[in-house]
Structure 1
Amino acid sequence: MKRTPPNPHPEYEFLGPPGAVAMLIVLPLITYGLYYNCRSGFGCPPAYWDAKDGLWPKVGSNPATYASDLWNFLLSTWDTDAFMVYSAFMVFLFVCYFVIPGHVVEGTVVGGVGGSPLTKDRSNYKLKYKVNALRTVMLIAVLVVATLMTKGVEPFLFLHGHFIGLITASLVWTFAVAIFVYIWSFIPDSNGQEKILACGGNTGNKIYDFVLGRELNPRFSASPDSTFDIKYFIELRPGLIGWVLLNFGMACQQYHDLGGRITNSMVAVLVFETFYVVDSLWNEAAVLTTMDITTDGFGFMLANGLLTWLPMNYSLQARFLAAYPVDMSMAHCLLVVMTQCVGYYIFRSANGQKNNFRRYGAAAPQNKGLKYMETASGSKLLISGWWGTARHINYFGDWLMALAWSLPCGLASPIPYFYPIYFAVLLIHRELRDEEKCRKKYGKDWDKYCEIVRWRIIPYIY
């Protein structure tokens, strides 16, 4: 088998190999830092730092001991019970994927390099995916209700009490999955052919390729008809469902601490974020048009984002409210609800419009009246509707929802606003990456498109 050589002139992203090394270290430390900086009894953020009081442990003054200090810190966060619970959750989702019925859908054209003779024609390379995530979460909901009715909230207090252990467990799974898919990318498929590699993950730099993801769509079988895709499975299930379960555990902790009630702020966070997750799973097939699936390789960066970063950091608002309850006024409630509703309307209707146009074409009844421009590559770019107002208008709706989930926490601490702040940076960076890819793909047609649709994310502002 002739292996596709690394790109001799790689175009690095995320500051290249040094940035990849930084992600391996900094991303886990940020997750730990958010936990140690916002806990019940210590302040959010804490008023002082002292290892004796169980806050973020101090690093020794001797640089030679930094590595051992970090390792000792990680060992101190190990929780066997938490690891077993997190692992059981992952195995449960894996079994549900195969056991629960679901229909198979065809994704959009994916882009990569290399591969078997059957996939050298990249213009028609599509994969098939099994859609059953919503049914999985419905089964989990039934199990949660049954547990509440028989045992009360007590079992769910585990999620709050073992949170630091769950972070470490998720990181163990993150590194295990990332290592597996990296090694898997070098193993030929069942036909003895090379895997399809991500364009940006085949640089020859081992650390960079490990972080960004070498293989585009790691699967148990290289056949395009295979219905199990590791990246697709992890994209929606562990992170989103785990996020909701952690939120519920924080609500149970508040219910326990407040003697049988939860605040309206906790209800708002629980309802809005659960609705977002259920809506995402309801529209599971829509993820097949995203860059995560079609363009980016699957490596440490995505594994960490979906297995650790998403559930552990996005549940920050609920964890804050469990420790520092907030009772919102009527005006406060109205502000939160309005922000959520406007954000959701923009996000879902814009994404739905794009997804319908890509899947069914301009002639479909649901796309009647939409204007578009054709490019030399044969692609069609929308220039009316939501996509005529801004080139990434869906990002604006997504960010408004992120803000709505932090507003119930009030203004006593800036830490619950980590998510909308980080998310704004992420969306701007993602928009810049997408702009660069589109400019390379469409050339002068993209410049023409940008003249028609001037604004990037927020009309008349950015």
Structure 2
Amino acid sequence: MPPKKASSSSSKEKKQITPSSKPEYEFLGPPGAVGMITILPLITYGLYFNCRPGFGCIPAYWDSKDGFWPSIGSNPMSYPSDIWAFIKSTWDTQAFDVYSSFIAFLFVCYFVVPGKVIEGAVVGGIGGPKMKDRANHRLKYKVNALRTLMLIVVMVIGTLYTKGVEPFLFLHDHFLGLVTASLFWTFGVSIFVYIWSFLPDEMGNPKILSCGGNTGNMIYDFMIGRELNPRLSYSKHSTFDIKYFVELRPGLIGWILLNFGMACKQYHDLGRITNSMILVQLFEAFYVVDSLWNESAVLTTMDITTDGFGFMLANGLLTWLPMNYSLQARYLASFPIDMTPFHFFIVIATQCIGYYIFRGANGQKDNFRRYGASAPQNKGLKYMETAVGSKLLISGWWGTARHINYLGDWLMALAWSLPCGISSPIPYFYPIYFAVLLVHRQLRDEEKCHKKYGKDWEKYCEIVRWRIIPYIY
């Protein structure tokens, strides 16, 4: 429960930074929170159960002989018993030890690997009138995720040179156990940060809470995230930001490590790597490296500035991202595909166009926020002033659509699935899910912007008409 009121002036300050927000639910409120907590893990398991070695993948067509589930068998009763057999075998002690060691290694690297300490954006930059009752301030972050990845790459190369691909086959053979281990960490971290949000900080002040995660409903606040930036103090002037650590490291680095394990499996079985697997490896690794190279850019995103840290983000970054985004590589490890030259060209073109839009738009926004309109790199960009003092870009990438970066992001997601062909819809789960996610995120973001900017936002929308796809949506 929120701290009780006191008569001292310091208590008034505490009240200012921990407002008791009225319930303004998203994701269908508490029932939706229960659904996310239960259904999201089941989806991750389902993607494994319905696309795995020895059983096949759900096909993209109806087979009159075997039905829609030829990989499961024509007898409907075989499906439940098969699932139950896998549920009983989901716990894998070795996989849990490996996943936990991975998290511990990243934790140590955060402190020992050199990195620049920088200031982030103003915390809570989007929140509407509620932000008048909050303390706007900047937090400091250590930027060293890319160097951590470089260290891991050196270790992987050393292992390949001395022991070959065999050690990395573990990632394929124990994938189900790794899913369970990641979920164990997801729930563990989520429970910890929820309880942690009720405890005062090292100065005895209540924690700064997210505007949407302080509704008073335990299940909903647990899911959406109660505290804005849960941190652990390890010295007088230094803190460890849990949300920032989880944001880029376990999910993104774990994703490409799993991909690499799937490529090793294909090489072990075939004696070579197919061109489809090569493209998936290159595209997705490039996305990760690019994200870590631009690590500071994440500090201006809603995840860091506005959203609380709870089950939704924890599951998305510790389980959903590495386990589900590696689906294409896992598919190709079991069902290898050699692409034709035309197929190859289509995939390359889709990836390049998507990246050009994504990085161009995000880079332009980040430069404008960091250096202002007078900076040389922002010369010629048009913007409109708002009553709250913010500037909204109305030219360049952001003059074509209000969320043009989402289009580039989605095209890249599609390019990662195209190498898998069209035999099964399973490898296309990510771009399908991602399209729904991006539209929802766009609606959610624009609702918050409307609350913040009011009539200025309506004027902005008249200038920049399109939401994501110019002339379409």
Deviation of 1:10 after TM superposition, in Å, equals 1.1
In the alignment, the residues of structure 2 paired with residue 445 and residue 195 of structure 1 have an alpha-carbon distance, to the nearest angstrom, of: 32
Counterpart in the other structure of 2:129: none
Q: What are the residue-to-residue correspondences of 1:6-405 with 2, within 5 Å?
A: 7=20, 9-45=22-58, 46-47=69-70, 49=72, 57-58=80-81, 74-111=87-124, 122-123=135-136, 125-221=137-233, 226-258=238-270, 260-405=271-416
Structure 1 residue 2: deviation in Å?
Answer: 3.9
Structure 1 residues 280 and 413: CA distance shift in structure 2, 3 A = same
Aligned partner of 1:458 in structure 2 is 469
Equivalent residues of 2:19, 2:209 under 8 A apart:
no
- Give me the whole-angstrom Cα distance separating, in 2, the residues matched to 1:120 and 1:391: 28
Q: Unpaired runs of 5+ in structure 1? A: 60-68, 114-118
Question: Given the superposition, is the C-alpha separation of residues 136 and 193 from structure 1 closer, same or farther in structure 2, using an over 3 Å criterion?
Answer: same
Q: Supply the distance in 2 between the matched residues of 1:222 and 1:51 (Cα, whole angstroms).
A: 59
Matched, 1:437 2:437: no
Supply the AA of the counterpart residue of 1:209.
Answer: D
Corresponding residue SS for 1:187: coil
Aligned-residue RMSD, C-alpha: 2.3
CA contact (8 A) 2:21 2:214 kept: no
Amino acid paired to 1:141: V
Percentage identity across paired residues of the two chains: 76
Change (3 A) 1:407 1:310: same
Of 167-176 and 219-228, more deviation after overlay is shown by: 219-228
Structure 2 CA distance, aligned partners of 1:357 and 1:6? 31
- Relative distance call for 1:47 and 1:180 in structure 2 (3 A) is same
Q: 1:314-337 CA distances to partner (integer Å, 9 max, x unpaired)?
A: 000000000000000111111000
User: What's the CA shift string for 1:348-403, capped at 9, x where partnerless?
Assistant: 01000000000111111111100000000000000000000000000000000000
SS at match of 2:244: helix
- 2:427 partner SS: helix
Cα distance, 1:270 vs. partner?
0.1
Is the 8 Å Cα contact of residues 37 and 44 (structure 1) preserved in structure 2?
yes
- The answer to whether the Cα contact below 8 Å between 1:50 and 1:58 also exists between their aligned partners in 2 is no
What code does the residue aligned with 1:18 have? P
Bigger mean CA deviation after superposition, 447-456 or 35-44: 35-44
Task: Give the secondary structure class of the aligned counterpart of 1:373.
Answer: strand
Deviations 1:206-228 (A, max 9, x none): 00000000000000039996452
- Deviation, structure 1 residue 52: 11
Match of 1:108, SS state, is strand
Q: CA deviation at 1:459?
A: 0.5
Q: In structure 1, what is the Cα distance between the partners aligned to 2:369 and 2:168?
A: 42
Q: How many residues align?
A: 445
- Given that 2:19 and 2:133 are in contact with CA atoms closer than 8 Å, whether structure 1 keeps it comes out as no
Query: Structure 2 CA distance, aligned partners of 1:265 and 1:214?
Result: 42
Q: Which amino acid aligns with 1:407?
A: L
SS of the residue 1:275 aligns to: helix
Residues 354 and 27 of structure 1: is their aligned pair in 2 closer, same or farther, counting only changes over 3 Å? same
The farther-off stretch of 44-53 and 248-257 is 44-53
SS of 1:107's equivalent in the other structure is: strand
What amino acid maps onto 1:137 in structure 2? Answer: L
Moved more, 166-175 or 73-82: 73-82
What is the match of residue 64 of structure 1? none
Aligned in 2, Cα 1:223/1:444: closer, same or farther, shift over 3 Å? farther
SS in 1 for 2:118: strand
Do the aligned residues in 2 keep the contact of 1:112 with 1:197 (CA within 8 Å)?
no
Between the aligned partners of 1:461 and 1:34, the Cα distance in structure 2 is: 31
C-alpha contact 1:126 1:224 (8 A) present in aligned 2: no
Instruction: Give 1:9 shift.
Output: 3.1
How far is the alpha carbon of 1:122 from its aligned partner?
Answer: 3.2
Task: Measure, in 2, the Cα distance between the counterparts of 1:400 and 1:151.
Answer: 37
Structure 2 letter corresponding to 1:383: I
Q: Using the alignment, how far apart are the partners of 1:368 and 1:235 within structure 2?
A: 32
Given that 1:32 and 1:167 are in contact with CA atoms closer than 8 Å, whether structure 2 keeps it comes out as: yes
CA distance in 2 between counterparts of 1:47 and 1:203 reads 47
Give distance in 1, aligned partners of 2:345 and 2:71.
36
